[in-house]
Amino acid sequence: MDLLQTLLATLVALGVLVTIHEWGHFWVARRCGVKVLRFSVGFGRPIWMRKGRDGTEYAIAAIPLGGYVRMLDEREGDVPESLRDQAFNNKSVYQRIAIVAAGPLVNLAFAVLAYALLFLSGISVVVPVIGEIVPGSPADRASVPAQQEVLAVDGREVQSWNEINLRLASHVGETGAIEMTVGEPARGVARTYRVPIEQWDVDLERESPLTAVGIRPWRPEVPPIIGQLLPDGAAVAAGLESGDRILSVNGEPIGDWLALVEVIQASPDTRLDLMIERQGQERSLVLVPGRREMPDGAVKGYIGAGVAPFEMPADMQRTLSYGPVEALVAGVEKTGQMIGLTLESIGKMIAGVISVKNLSGPITIAKVAGTSAASGLESFISFLAYLSVSLGVLNLLPIPMLDGGHLLYYAVELVRGRPVSEQVQMLGLRIGMALLFSLMALAIVNDLARLF
């Protein structure tokens, strides 16, 4: 069921984003008088196709990792004299720029609308109250206090941990200070602290920027009650069932779920004597956690069990909701923030500040799509918006084979007054293909490393 959900979520995510991207090219091409021969979602052999009244073939192809709009073009075949004015290559450079730019720009517009929809309907977030400060961390050196709410980062108001993480992520690889304002809004108390960083190296594979800066969010005490179980896990082998409450391990009382996790992770292949409560009765079990090797080489215990659902206290939750105009403005601001973060990340990856290990491919996208779909419609729409921003920004990069590469050629044509030669374009195409295929291979290798 989880695999089916992941596949469906991935197909929906890619299908929606590819369709709107290609529709952007298609819609502007038609408005510019270009004849569109085929509108395809996916590559390869079509598994469904029909011809519209406009003469365009509409197709869904077997490989759902992209799509294309094939336009009439004299460079790709003979064009009848009567249709030459409808060929893409015979349109003005401004029209060609509009057609090529439309795809990624529609992706960015979709992200704005998706975020605006979320803000309009209301987003539920956890109030960002600091639980603990890690000793010796940057936040500790700045004397950032615990048990207070984070109100702003670098002078910009924040209302959720997600916003804080995004603000902190923009400082990865930098030297200087991060300004964090924390306080107690109910009492009107607030103070700004300068958190020192020096060539701030954050391994985004293993930790979030929030964790790296030394802040642990406040969390309620979570009862150590077993929830979901993996059928082949150590928990099931020991006889644990959903709803069991762990009372003690090796005679030591267990107060909450995190304490149980710490004991299990520290005990791979080690016998643990449990005392549990099941349906009001106490009983003992023997549990031997399996072992899981972490990316850093450390080995931790693992039993294949999740915590039972629990509710966050009402006073620690807030709903971010706006009117139509405010929601649209917030959607534009959020999209702009994500564009900036994406460009910064690409720049820092090229400069070697951020490891290329953070590059993700289709496997990671599929996993995130499945997880976000399982978390609810709000999470899935947020994921779609983020992925749409990434698709829009990446396609605008000046790399031959991408939309941005074509835009670069047209910009040169505007300056020179004549098109870039076919020889130069073919050379750029080969370079672009080599670069993109290399990046794709690296992303897939990273995906497989995370998976195994």
pLDDT of residue 336: 94
pLDDT interval class at 6 (50, 70, 90): confident
Residue 308 pLDDT more than 50?
Answer: yes
Residue 17 pLDDT more than 80?
Answer: yes
How many CB atoms are closer than 10 A to CB 296?
Answer: 8
Identity at 75, one-letter amino acid code = R
Q: Residues 181, 213: contact at Cβ < 8 Å? A: no
pLDDT of residue 81: 87
pLDDT interval class at 177 (50, 70, 90): very high
pLDDT, tens only, 330-347: 999 999 999 998 888 888
Complete domains list, the chain, with CATH? 92-122+323-452 (no CATH), 124-220+312-320 (2.30.42.10), 226-307 (2.30.42.10)
> What value, to the nearest 5°, has the Cα angle with vertex 288 and ends 284 and 293?
150
* Cα 238 from Cα 124, distance rounded (Å): 37
| Distances 82 to 35, 85, 87 between C-alpha atoms, Å | 12, 7, 10
Phi, psi of 352 (to 5 degrees): 85, 5
Q: Residues 134, 354: contact at Cβ < 8 Å? A: no
pLDDT of residue 76: 83
298 secondary structure, DSSP code? -
Q: What is the DSSP string of 159-199?
A: -SHHHHHHHHHTTTT--EEEEEEEEEGGGTEEEEEEEEESS
Which position has the higher pLDDT, 62 or 102?
A: 102
Residue 77 pLDDT more than 50?
Answer: yes
* Cα 55 from Cα 73, distance rounded (Å): 15
* Cα 302 from Cα 269, distance rounded (Å): 9
pLDDT of residue 1: 42
Nearest one of 382, 356, 373 to 445, comparing CA atoms: 356
Identity at 218, one-letter amino acid code = W
Residue 427 pLDDT more than 90?
Answer: no
Which position has the higher pLDDT, 348 or 233?
A: 233
Average pLDDT, the chain: 87
Element (H, E) at 443: helix 422-451
Mean local confidence (pLDDT), 208-224:
89
Place of tokens 């929601």: 327
% of the chain at pLDDT higher than 70: 92
Residue 65 pLDDT more than 80?
Answer: no
pLDDT of residue 450: 63
* Cα 359 from Cα 398, distance rounded (Å): 19
Does the model's pTM come out above 0.75? Answer: yes
* Cα 112 from Cα 129, distance rounded (Å): 28
Q: Residues 33, 403: contact at Cβ < 8 Å? A: no
pLDDT of residue 27: 96
| Distances 57 to 15, 54, 78, 438 between C-alpha atoms, Å | 18, 9, 19, 32
Place of tokens 């090229």: 350
Nearest one of 151, 140, 143, 133 to 215, comparing CA atoms: 133
- Lowest pLDDT segment from 237-246, 275-284, 312-321, 365-374: 365-374
pLDDT, tens only, 122-159: 888 889 999 999 999 999 999 999 999 999 999 999 99
Residue 67 pLDDT more than 50?
Answer: yes
Phi, psi of 279 (to 5 degrees): 55, 45
With the C-alpha atoms ordered 222, 451, 241, 239, is the resulting torsion angle positive or negative? negative
322 secondary structure, DSSP code? -
pLDDT of residue 362: 66
Nearest one of 16, 22, 8 to 388, comparing CA atoms: 16
Residues catalogued as catalytic: 22
Q: Which long-range contacts (CB under 8 A, 24 or more apart) does 177-181 make?
A: 178/138, 178/153, 178/154, 178/213, 179/152, 179/153, 179/154, 179/155, 180/139, 180/142, 180/144, 180/150, 180/152, 180/153, 181/150, 181/151, 181/152, 181/153, 181/155
pLDDT interval class at 375 (50, 70, 90): low
Q: Which residues contact 191 (CB under 8 A, 6 or more apart)?
A: 181, 182, 183
Mean local confidence (pLDDT), 287-316:
82
- Lowest pLDDT segment from 7-21, 169-183, 199-213, 389-403: 199-213
pLDDT interval class at 364 (50, 70, 90): low
pLDDT interval class at 326 (50, 70, 90): very high
Ordered strands of the 156-157 beta sheet? 156-157, 149-153, 176-184, 189-197
pLDDT interval class at 449 (50, 70, 90): confident
pLDDT, tens only, 253-262: 998 888 899 9
With the C-alpha atoms ordered 79, 84, 86, 90, is the resulting torsion angle positive or negative? positive
118 secondary structure, DSSP code? H
Which position has the higher pLDDT, 5 or 287?
A: 287
% of the chain at pLDDT higher than 90: 51
Mean local confidence (pLDDT), 231-260:
91
